[in-house]
């Protein structure tokens, strides 16, 4: 790779980066008050003015909580996301530059959960989401249905469409959302219970989901609920949204936040409705 690899801002997340990634880093540009030292983790610290004078750099934004501030500054100064810089948690690596974090997939962690029994690992989340469900809904699409435990909590007259990556039951509609596909199913309500975190292209997936349902109910562990990116990566999570970012994505698809529930531990529960749907 011809460009110099630069980390933008020293945060505690840098200490969690993989050694293979850090070996490729050339400099750290910092604005967080580390002017009492010349190096960090063996890398030379530079200031932002130095960065502006460089012609060939690829920048990794390390900020987590205030990532928008860092990204907006780079964008205002002419750097293009994906071409000149990337938010480090969204980088999964290539042949020349390895991932910033140790990565796991959903399959790596699936052994922690029991999907064979009648009770599902996310039943408590389903019960919470059901309190947000429209009373006049007549059809439900369960994305990442697993053992279809949601079906047991629905009235018999409600049509139930289970969707999963593998065909665990004859009724399961098989679809790999990370491949970009989406089933030809339309419903009043779509459930996303502990699945959105594992979608590698969430904006594309959510756009297609919004085209197939009037209401979306989400159980999600937001960035504010779990800000440690290294922990999120080891859970196999592929995205790291704040609640506000989710609201913005749905707003761009013609939906608005109708209701919300926040748990001190465990995540957030959101209901998005299509404007004028009900």
Return the domain boundaries, the chain: 4-90, 110-274
> Is residue 115 very low, low, confident or very high in pLDDT (cuts 50, 70, 90)?
low
Q: Does residue 48 surpass a pLDDT of 80?
A: yes
Segment 57-61 mean pLDDT: 97
According to CATH, what is the number of the domain 110-274? 3.40.50.150
Supply 62's token pair: 């390390």
> Do residues 244 and 222 touch, judged by C-beta distance below 8 A?
no
Of 105 and 259, the one with more pLDDT: 259
Q: Does residue 39 surpass a pLDDT of 80?
A: yes
Task: Single out the residue of 11, 12, 9, 15 nearest to residue 27, CA to CA.
Answer: 9
Amino acid 120: pLDDT:
65
Supply 177's token pair: 């959302």
Segment 24-51 mean pLDDT: 89
Amino acid 266: pLDDT:
66
> Is residue 103 very low, low, confident or very high in pLDDT (cuts 50, 70, 90)?
confident
- DSSP 8-state symbol, 277: -
> Do residues 163 and 205 touch, judged by C-beta distance below 8 A?
no
At 42, phi and psi to the nearest 5? 80, 5
Q: How many CB atoms lie within 10 A of CB 219?
A: 24
> Do residues 98 and 24 touch, judged by C-beta distance below 8 A?
yes
Q: Does residue 277 surpass a pLDDT of 90?
A: no
For residue range 199-252, what is the model confidence (pLDDT) as tens digits?
Answer: 999 999 999 999 999 999 999 999 988 989 999 998 999 999 999 999 999 999
113 vs 204: CA distance, rounded Å: 28
164 vs 193: CA distance, rounded Å: 12
> Is residue 105 very low, low, confident or very high in pLDDT (cuts 50, 70, 90)?
confident
Of 158 and 102, the one with more pLDDT: 158
Three-state DSSP at 159 gives strand
Q: Does residue 111 surpass a pLDDT of 70?
A: no
Segment 45-72 mean pLDDT: 93
Q: What is the dihedral of CA 143, 145, 150, 151, to 10 degrees?
A: 100
Segment 127-146 mean pLDDT: 95
Amino acid 231: pLDDT:
92
Hey, what CATH class is 4-90 in?
Answer: alpha beta
């Amino acid at each position: 790779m011809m460009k110099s690899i630069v980390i933008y801002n020293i945060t505690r997340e840098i200490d969690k980066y993989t050694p293979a990634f850090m070996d490729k880093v050339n400099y750290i540009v910092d604005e967080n008050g580390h002017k009492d030292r010349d190096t960090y983790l063996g890398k030379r610290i530079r200031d932002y003015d130095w960065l502006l004078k460089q012609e060939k750099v690829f920048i990794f934004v390390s900020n987590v909580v205030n990532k928008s501030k860092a990204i907006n500054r780079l964008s205002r100064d002419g750097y293009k996301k994906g071409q000149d810089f990337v938010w480090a948690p969204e980088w999964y690596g290539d042949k020349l530059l390895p991932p910033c974090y140790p990565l796991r997939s959903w399959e790596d962690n699936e052994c922690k959960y029991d999907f064979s029994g009648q009770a599902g690992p996310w039943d408590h989340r389903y019960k919470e989401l059901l309190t947000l469900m429209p009373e006049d809904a007549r059809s439900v699409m369960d994305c990442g249905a697993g053992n279809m435990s949601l079906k047991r909590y629905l009235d018999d007259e409600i049509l139930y469409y289970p969707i999963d990556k593998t065909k665990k039951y004859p009724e399961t509609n098989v679809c790999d959302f990370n491949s970009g596909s989406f089933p030809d199913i339309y419903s009043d309500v779509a459930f996303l219970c502990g699945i959105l975190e594992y979608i590698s292209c969430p904006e594309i997936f959510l756009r297609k989901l919004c085209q197939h349902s009037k209401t979306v109910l989400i159980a999600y562990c937001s960035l504010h609920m779990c800000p440690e990116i290294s922990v999120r990566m080891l859970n196999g999570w592929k995205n790291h949204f704040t609640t506000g970012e989710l609201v913005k994505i749905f707003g761009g698809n013609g939906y608005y936040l109708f209701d919300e529930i926040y748990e001190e531990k465990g995540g957030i529960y959101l209901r998005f409705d299509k404007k004028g749907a009900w």
